[in-house]
Amino acid sequence: MQLAEARLAFQLVNFEAADRLTNTRQLFAHLVGGLPDGGTESFYILSLNPNRRPICRARIASGISVAAHIRVRDIILTALLAEARMLACVRLQPKGTIRPTLADGRMLWNLNQATQLMDIQLLDYFIAGPNGEYYSCREHGELHE
């Protein structure tokens, strides 16, 4: 006999007409704003509507080497359940460098392919370090429309 557990937890994000996220800095600030400053790696996604207004933020996973353990289908499922047309991802890196790892590169490529097939726009993939520093794959030309 097999047992399976399914979990899906959403965190509502309050938005008003002025909360249209139009640039990378706004998107990053909204994505990491209010997140706990824990000592573990975590991976979050932000689902947005077609007008670039946030719908919800969801934590997909946390733990050591989180980018290597996340499945793209979990990210896509979360975005589809939120009826998102756009999404952005962040991997919180509490220690060390904020440069992308090989796992980040694989995740980005797979996620880019999947979002194109599902007609969801991948806005950015961030790696956030301590003290508000971040690496944006879009700003570094690793993410194309």
Residue 16 lies in a domain: no
Per-residue model confidence (pLDDT) at position 17:
46
CATH code (residue 102): 3.40.140.10
Per-residue model confidence (pLDDT) at position 108:
93
- Across the range 18-34, mean pLDDT stands at 86
Number of independent structural domains in the chain:
1
HEC letters along the chain: CCCCCCCCCCEECCCCCCCCCCCHHHHHHHHHCCCCCCCCCEEEEEEECCCCCEEEEEEEEECCCHHHHCCHHHHHHHHHHCCCCEEEEEEECCCCCCCCCHHHHHHHHHHHHHHHHCCCEEEEEEEECHHHCEEECCCCCCCCC
pLDDT tens for 70-95 read 899 999 999 999 999 999 999 998 88
Q: Which domain holds residue 113?
A: 21-136
Residue 127 lies in a domain: yes
Per-residue model confidence (pLDDT) at position 107:
92
Residue 12 lies in a domain: no
